[in-house]
Structure 1
Amino acid sequence: MSLIAPFRGLRPAAGRGAEVLAPPYDVLNTAEARERAAGKPWSFLHISKPEIDLPADTDPYSPTVYAKAAENLQKTIEAGLLIRDDAPCYYAYRLIMGEHQQTGLVAGASVADYDTNRIRKHEFTRPVKEDDRVNQIDAVNAQTGPVLLAYPDAPEVDQILAAAMQTAPALDVTADDGIQHTLWVIDDAQALAQLTNAFNAMHALYIADGHHRSAAASRIAKMRDNQQGSAYFLSVIFPAHQMKIFDYNRVIKDLHDLEPSQFLAAVEQNFQLEPSATPVKPAQPGEFGMYMDGQWFKLTLNADLMPNDDPVARLDVSRLARYLIEPVLGISDPRRDDRIDFVGGIRGLAGLEKRVDSGEMAVAFSLFATSMQDLMAVADNNDVMPPKSTWFEPKLADGVVSYVLD
């Protein structure tokens, strides 16, 4: 079985992409999705967040929600907003956000290779979120939320994608947030074979985002005995060197019964502490920003604590937890402790200041972003990152291409 396979994509009809494309289902809550879909009857949010079309007190995990998703998908197809390609294709998908751009391949990724860890993971999954994706995929008989994957350097793949981009796009939409989404169909037999062979030669692919979606796809394949197209799952695979990871910062509700002076003294046990007149955006591993009581500080981890060959322990998210958040602030399980929250770097350092200045949080920490090399090293070592270690931008849109399970 091939690592990837072309498929008959379900995608917006010509000129209808702007009506269909929507933010990923998991970046909006129900209230936000309701607002974003207002006045947009064909927004993909009606499929990915179908509770917005049901009474406000509806349990988002209710069977009626998944049934509504299936109904809304069928309505969108019948209205001609979504069309399905006649033959299996790959697709080139380009994202542009400001000065940054990246181009990847939309493909079916092998469930078997996911199960054997050739498609490598770096996060735990939560059963309730897995169950949600299983129920949604099963109800609509399609994978509508792509898994974001990365591939190691492969110039041949990059060249084929670049050639595809010389043709007329099938979709070109600039979303409300200013991110441009462009899609090209790759249906040339030679290009299809070259892409399949190039990926089959790779030792691994890496999940960047979408652990629950890929885990759900594996469960669906077992439920269906790998029939009805379930042996592959919807993915968009970008070259690792093009992908952009933002910092994923931390805010803490209290100082764990310490006075500010006691807290600062405890921090200085493991860090050099330097007040800063401006917000601190760390410039290298081992540097951190800290904001409390209207004051920024630059923290530098003591040099004797820096060397570490363990791919998880050498992450800055791990260092901050090990040498400050756990011993000083008493937070040992960030997955379950409600005293800690996480702020994506896309919100900037002002987002941290706002949480502290409002009185909601007592202290905030800015981190140096995890690198793709770090992510791949953790996955290659069959390890798991701490929660909220990576924040990828730009985000894929839902509705660009869906994978029907037949």
Structure 2
Amino acid sequence: MAKIIPFKAVRPTADKVSLVTARTYDDYSPAELAAQLDFNPYSFLHIINPGYALQQKITNEKRFKMVRNKYLDFKKDAVFKQETDPVFYIYEIQSNKNTFTGILCGTSIEDYQNNVIKKHENTLEYRVDMFKDYLHVTGFNTEPVLITYPNETELNTWLADQKQNTPIYEFSTHKKEKHIVWRIAAPTDIAWLTQKFSTIPNLYIADGHHRSASAEMLYNQDKETNNENLKYFMSFLIADDNVKIYEFNRLIHDLNNHSKQEFLNLLEKHFIVTPKGQEIWNPTQKFQFGMYLDGAFYALTLKKETYQMQGVLNQLDAQILYDTVLHPILGIGDLRNDDRIEYLPGTKSITQLKEKVDSGQFEVAFMLYPVHINEIKQIADNHLIMPPKSTYIEPKFCNGVIIYEI
């Protein structure tokens, strides 16, 4: 059964939260980044990029120490304050398309190790190790792991009741998203929520496999310090039907020495290939794929009689494309490291994908149908791993709103 805890979060004062909050560092263009760092002294970017003013390359260890020092400066200057008692938070993100509502809490390393919290992705060891070092030196994390729980009426009713109270934060971002945060501090509410999740057999990581793996590695390294916070990592718990799952489309630099006609002929072994011309075409169901090649779109429909669909993994569209096209025809073996393949999330328009092929940067592009949350859960339940870049999942969080100290 799942164990969750409230925690003594560090967070901005209400008057500064909209100034502090920042997107992930890589989301900014160089011009945007420079503007934020030059003209907004409260931006969390000053903490995660403390060497900006120095314009120099530094080691990870030195950079992490600078992050730590800048974070302490923000606390000293009262930009941040810390809760006196452990609390939960309800966090809601509203966009023009979706509303995401969930619970910020601590989740258990022990549950993660015992597969109460289930995983569906592999991690890269160097990334896990680097973020472990980051956590060890800086002593905080502000990016929660996105975890789903089964949709349940009683929890939905409780969340709706809590949202009738006055929020501690209500602000908008440059991405035209509205963020609303409620503080759950009453002992009766904390006890009810803790007990409620103790009846849920399993939670599922939707996004944040590297962060959870780093938290476990840090616990294993530093557990002799008896730091209670090491036993948990910050998570955002959301009903499994409230996440939004997008596909990752594939862009390939060349046809592996095949001519266009040879390539089309090879595809017909496993697919019904239907030319669509200039019609921008996206798959509308599983076992369909879109393709853009030489200025034209194609619909690829799997011939199920030619493909062995035994097991959950082999029924994933990303795995099917790899097994039938990317590996045997295009010669791509390592989806994570082969530099002949790149990925574009389904949040980007097909027009952008088309432009990348038309520019000559890529030879062919494939569009996939989004994975369903039940497929993710089935993969995790069977202790399997999805192919790299199978899902792009929202919500995505701002940095600097709620901070978990270690």
Same fold (TM over 0.5): yes
Q: What is residue 322 of structure 1 aligned with on the other side? A: 323
1:39 aligns with 2:39: yes
Q: What is residue 391 of structure 2 aligned with on the other side? A: 390
Match of 2:73 among 47, 72, 75: 75
**CA positional deviation for 1:231:** 0.6
User: How do 1:5-404 residues align onto structure 2 when only pairs under 5 Å count?
Assistant: 5-25=5-25, 27=27, 33-34=33-34, 36-59=36-59, 62-225=60-223, 226-276=226-276, 277-305=278-306, 308-404=309-405
C-alpha deviations, 1:260-317, integer Å up to 9, x for none? 1111111111111111131111110001110011101111011324673522211110
Q: Is the 8 A contact 2:2 2:202 kept in 1?
A: no
Corresponding residue SS for 2:100 = strand
Give distance in 1, aligned partners of 2:243 and 2:374. 11
C-alpha deviations, 1:154-190, integer Å up to 9, x for none? 2222222222211111112211111222111011111
Q: Is the 8 A contact 2:16 2:42 kept in 1?
A: no
Amino acid of the structure 2 residue aligned with 1:404: E
Amino acid of the structure 2 residue aligned with 1:345: G
**Change in CA separation of 1:51 and 1:348 when aligned onto 2, cut-off 3 Å:** farther
RMSD between superposed Cα atoms in Å: 1.9
Q: Is the 8 A contact 2:2 2:116 kept in 1?
A: no
Corresponding residue SS for 2:354 = helix
Give distance in 2, aligned partners of 1:297 and 1:336. 27
Corresponding residue SS for 1:241 = coil
Corresponding residue SS for 2:43 = coil
**Change in CA separation of 1:160 and 1:50 when aligned onto 2, cut-off 3 Å:** farther
Amino acid of the structure 2 residue aligned with 1:194: W
**Change in CA separation of 1:25 and 1:173 when aligned onto 2, cut-off 3 Å:** same
Amino acid of the structure 1 residue aligned with 2:295: G
Unaligned runs of 5+ in 1: none
**CA positional deviation for 1:55:** 2.4
Corresponding residue SS for 1:167 = coil
Q: Is the 8 A contact 1:15 1:171 kept in 2?
A: no
Give distance in 1, aligned partners of 2:261 and 2:4. 56
Q: Is the 8 A contact 1:30 1:49 kept in 2?
A: no
Give distance in 1, aligned partners of 2:396 and 2:345. 12
Answer with 27-36 or 278-287: which moved more.
27-36
**CA positional deviation for 1:389:** 0.6
Unaligned runs of 5+ in 2: none
Amino acid of the structure 2 residue aligned with 1:386: P
Answer with 198-207 or 36-45: which moved more.
36-45
Give distance in 2, aligned partners of 1:322 and 1:158. 41
Give distance in 1, aligned partners of 2:186 and 2:198. 18
Corresponding residue SS for 1:153 = coil
Q: Is the 8 A contact 1:173 1:182 kept in 2?
A: yes
**Change in CA separation of 1:162 and 1:53 when aligned onto 2, cut-off 3 Å:** farther
**Change in CA separation of 1:51 and 1:203 when aligned onto 2, cut-off 3 Å:** farther
**Change in CA separation of 1:144 and 1:53 when aligned onto 2, cut-off 3 Å:** farther
Give distance in 2, aligned partners of 1:396 and 1:243. 13
Q: Is the 8 A contact 1:50 1:68 kept in 2?
A: yes
**Change in CA separation of 1:78 and 1:93 when aligned onto 2, cut-off 3 Å:** same
Where does structure 1 differ by over 6 angstroms across 4 or more consecutive aligned residues?
29-32
Give distance in 1, aligned partners of 2:6 and 2:316. 36
**Change in CA separation of 1:238 and 1:306 when aligned onto 2, cut-off 3 Å:** farther
**Change in CA separation of 1:185 and 1:31 when aligned onto 2, cut-off 3 Å:** same
**Change in CA separation of 1:201 and 1:45 when aligned onto 2, cut-off 3 Å:** same
Amino acid of the structure 2 residue aligned with 1:104: G
Q: Is the 8 A contact 1:142 1:404 kept in 2?
A: yes
C-alpha deviations, 1:351-372, integer Å up to 9, x for none? 2112101111000011000111
Corresponding residue SS for 2:230 = coil
Amino acid of the structure 2 residue aligned with 1:18: S
**Change in CA separation of 1:302 and 1:138 when aligned onto 2, cut-off 3 Å:** same
Q: Is the 8 A contact 1:160 1:191 kept in 2?
A: no
Amino acid of the structure 1 residue aligned with 2:301: T
Give distance in 2, aligned partners of 1:207 and 1:27. 23
**CA positional deviation for 1:205:** 0.8
C-alpha deviations, 1:66-90, integer Å up to 9, x for none? 0111011111112222111111100
Answer with 157-166 or 18-27: which moved more.
18-27
Give distance in 1, aligned partners of 2:48 and 2:155. 31
**CA positional deviation for 1:58:** 3.3
Give distance in 1, aligned partners of 2:53 and 2:377. 40
Q: Is the 8 A contact 1:96 1:394 kept in 2?
A: no
1:4 aligns with 2:9: no
Answer with 68-77 or 40-49: which moved more.
40-49
Corresponding residue SS for 1:198 = helix
Q: Is the 8 A contact 1:156 1:198 kept in 2?
A: no
Q: Is the 8 A contact 1:46 1:53 kept in 2?
A: no
Amino acid of the structure 2 residue aligned with 1:256: N
Give distance in 1, aligned partners of 2:61 and 2:104. 30
**Change in CA separation of 1:32 and 1:340 when aligned onto 2, cut-off 3 Å:** farther
